Amino acid sequence: MPHDAPGSGGGAAVPPPSELFSEERSADVVAAGFAATPDPRLRLVLTSLVRHLHGFVKDVELTEREWAAAIEFLTATGKACTGTRQEFILLSDVLGASMLVETINNRAGGGLTESTVEGPFHLVASPPRELGADIAEDGKGTPCLVTGSVAGPVGRLLKAAARHPNRPAHIHFEVSAPGYRTVTTHLFVAGTPFIDSDAVFGVKPSLVREFPEVDDPERAAAAGLPNPFRTVTFDVVLRPDTAGGEV
């Protein structure tokens, strides 16, 4: 349908070119649309997101087919989520975003124990045990061979990028104490496969330990362990809840 010419009295005048969308001004024009966002933090996040997103699209000169594939991928990622499976967290993990958010929000320093991403299999209601208890129960049982495959959109992304989905050997910890901030962390075994290529980028140098073998029958007997055995020391230093408190 026809449009009124500027100044004809048929409606608002056409905005100046500096306010209209173009390839060169796209980020500025769209960011300006969020300038009146009341919450200052939300305004900062949205405008920064727009600028980085537009910068990415221009940097790679995204094609329409690639844009459509990205939409389909995100749609499939959402559909893969269930009450017990969060595919978007997995996507965030393999892109390193989870670790970056965790690292920024838990800057250690001062000898504090560094944190890392929380595992997806942490059981909040796991039973309490006495210090030194054997979590392997009676140590008996029948060996079980487990097979499977990495499925879902994120698995396909890793395959397309020729990346493996594996994590290095590690032990999960969630340590808390009254008056201190809870820390979620891992202890990684030095020299194990994938220690330098963790699929979720969770390895930090301060969390890697050697697990040397000890041949000491007397010490093994005192600890109720078969000889020889392996040992490791991992001292956890927590951050006080209040600034200036003692670690």
- Other CB atoms within 10 A of residue 110 CB: 8
Which of 99, 120, 104 lies closest to 204, judged by CA? Answer: 99
Which residues lie across from 230 on neighbouring strands? 213
Residue 144 within a domain = no
Residue 232 near residue 211, CB atoms below 8 Å: yes
Residue 106 within a domain = yes
pLDDT in tens, the chain (247 residues): 555 555 545 556 777 777 799 999 999 999 999 999 999 999 999 999 999 999 999 999 999 999 999 999 999 999 999 998 899 999 999 999 999 999 999 887 778 999 998 865 556 677 788 877 777 766 677 888 888 877 899 999 999 999 999 999 999 998 999 999 999 999 999 999 999 999 999 999 999 999 999 999 999 999 888 999 999 999 999 999 875 555 5
How many structural domains comprise the chain?
2
pLDDT of amino acid 123:
60
Maximum C-alpha span of the chain? 99
CA pair distance 245, 187, nearest whole angstrom:
26
Structure letter (DSSP) for residue 241: S
139's CB contacts (< 8 A; 6+ apart) are: none
pLDDT of amino acid 150:
74
pLDDT of amino acid 168:
96
Backbone angles phi, psi at 229, to 5 degrees: -140, 175
Query: Tokens 């808390």 map to which residue?
Result: 176
Same domain flag for 228 and 166:
yes
pLDDT of amino acid 9:
52
Say what the pTM is.
Answer: 0.80
Domain of residue 111, residue span: 68-122+153-247
Backbone angles phi, psi at 61, to 5 degrees: 50, 60
110's CB contacts (< 8 A; 6+ apart) are: 247
Total residues found in the chain within this entry: 247
- Other CB atoms within 10 A of residue 62 CB: 13
Same domain flag for 72 and 58:
no
Residue 135 within a domain = no
Same domain flag for 29 and 118:
no
